[in-house]
Amino acid sequence: MPIDVREAKTRRDLRAFIYLPEKIHKGHRNWVPPIFMDDRKYFNPRKNKAFGYCRSILFLAYRGGRLVGRVMGIINTRFNEHRKERLARFGYLETIEDPEVVHALLGRVEEWARSLGMIRIVGPYGFSDQDPEGYLIEGFEHRATIATYYNFDWLPRMVEGEGYIKDIDYYVYKLDVPDELPAFYHKIFERAQKRGNFRTVEFRKRKELKPWIRPILGLMNECYTGSNIYGFAPLEEKEMDDLAKRYMPILDPRFIKVVTKDGEPAAFVVGMPDMTAGIQKARGRLLPFGFLHILRAAKKTKQLDLLLGAVREKYRGMGLDVLMGFKMLTSAREAGFDYLDSHHEMESNVKVRAEMERMGGKVYKRFRVYQKNL
């Protein structure tokens, strides 16, 4: 039967788009559903400020009246203006195992992008680098972590079959939480503490953290823009507030570390207990009792996930990463964690990757973002 690709326009279409993944991944042991309440906000132009500076389109694929796939096309105009590019993105591609469906959906996104003057497309990618990016290509035996894709192993091959090639790889490290930190780490920590009049700020309650949200995300803006981080476009203040609201209810203040210089943040790192087992049990639904499964999983997990981190450029190479790492590992050990997930580390970020390996970290997942000339 022919594949009918339609633009998702109605409220019913949007609901079908949002909930299709749980049908596609039914019985997929290591897949973790999104928090569907968050997805309803994310795909709502009235609630997601990114729609204000991005062009986007949603497509649904049907065969014989049955919904068999979805995809989103995005043009981040702010990013393109900042980087002087004509770049489109595809994301949230979910299909049955059928190369014809993948071909039809990607073809429609490419056609849409070309019609708007774009000359290259990358994906999977969302509005920003705070959204899931890159298909899993190694580490399928491990459960997904929050804010990452978990796809079937056949999907990257089908994307490659459409002429897409590697744009960038991300490596994810697993680090054991040691009973005792290595002697060299203690030496670097002590040296970093003595130089530069730096102070490490730690938190116990969310109310202590709130005044630091804007300064932390402002530092992220500065560092990620200055370092030309892949796919990053600066966030406006309202977007920072929205990002904070999205994650604040599930953050544990113990795993947020800030290094200050003269009262201003010079570096930060954010970690979060892995709660994906609870999200699976809740089937992505917070109500009526799903949030209890998630909170229980966060208390029982032995894995701490790192999410974000940055060091102001003029303070790099002064040991601030060790200051934060020392404190984070100490907090992780005190909380009973066995290991850390590093989140995405760019293939080209050899300094951070070397630090991970020096601490005994092992690559246990790899993600790939694809690109294609239009």
> Is it the case that residue 89 has pLDDT exceeding 70?
yes
Q: How confident is the model at residue 226 (pLDDT cuts 50, 70, 90)?
A: low
Distance CA 126, CA 42 (A): 10
Residue 257 near residue 200, CB atoms below 8 Å = yes
CA-nearest of 186, 327, 353 to 253 is 327
Q: Higher confidence at residue 281 or residue 218?
A: 281
pLDDT of residue 358: 81
pLDDT of residue 195: 75
Residue 305 near residue 341, CB atoms below 8 Å = yes
pLDDT tens readout for residues 309-321: 889 988 888 888 8
**Residue bearing tokens 């954010």:** 270
Q: How confident is the model at residue 228 (pLDDT cuts 50, 70, 90)?
A: low
DSSP conformation letters of 138-152: E-TTS---TTS----
Question: How many Å is the Cα radius of gyration of the chain?
Answer: 21
Interacting residues of 78 by C-beta distance below 8 A, sequence separation 6+:
53, 54, 233, 234
Average pLDDT for the chain: 91
Tell me if residue 168 falls in helix, strand or coil: strand
pLDDT of residue 128: 87
CA-nearest of 100, 88, 105 to 373 is 88
> Is it the case that residue 59 has pLDDT exceeding 90?
yes
Residues of the chain with pLDDT > 90, as a percent, come to 66
pLDDT tens readout for residues 267-277: 999 999 999 99
Exposure string for 14-24, b = 16+ CB within 10 A, e = fewer: bebbbbbbbeb
Comparing 50-59, 193-202, 229-238, the range with the smallest average pLDDT is 229-238
- The single-letter DSSP state of residue 355 is H
Fold of 3-170: Aminopeptidase (3.40.630)
Q: Higher confidence at residue 92 or residue 147?
A: 92
> Is it the case that residue 175 has pLDDT exceeding 80?
yes
Burial class for 352, CB neighbours closer than 10 Å (0-12, 13-18, 19+): middle
Q: How confident is the model at residue 227 (pLDDT cuts 50, 70, 90)?
A: low
pLDDT tens readout for residues 125-145: 999 888 899 999 999 999 999
Residue 354 near residue 161, CB atoms below 8 Å = no
pLDDT of residue 20: 98
What are the E-state strand segments in 202-283? 256-261, 264-273
Residue 106 near residue 71, CB atoms below 8 Å = yes
Query: How many contiguous H segments (helices) and E segments (strands) does the chain have?
Result: 13, 14
CA-nearest of 257, 296, 259 to 278 is 296
What are the residue ranges of CATH 3.40.630.30 in the chain? Answer: 3-170, 178-337
- The single-letter DSSP state of residue 50 is G
pLDDT of residue 162: 98
- The single-letter DSSP state of residue 289 is T
What is the mean predicted confidence (pLDDT) over 51-72?
Answer: 96
> Is it the case that residue 363 has pLDDT exceeding 90?
yes
pLDDT of residue 306: 92
> Is it the case that residue 222 has pLDDT exceeding 80?
yes
CATH of domain 178-337: 3.40.630.30
Distance CA 67, CA 215 (A): 44
> Is it the case that residue 39 has pLDDT exceeding 70?
yes
> Is it the case that residue 41 has pLDDT exceeding 90?
yes
> Is it the case that residue 188 has pLDDT exceeding 70?
yes
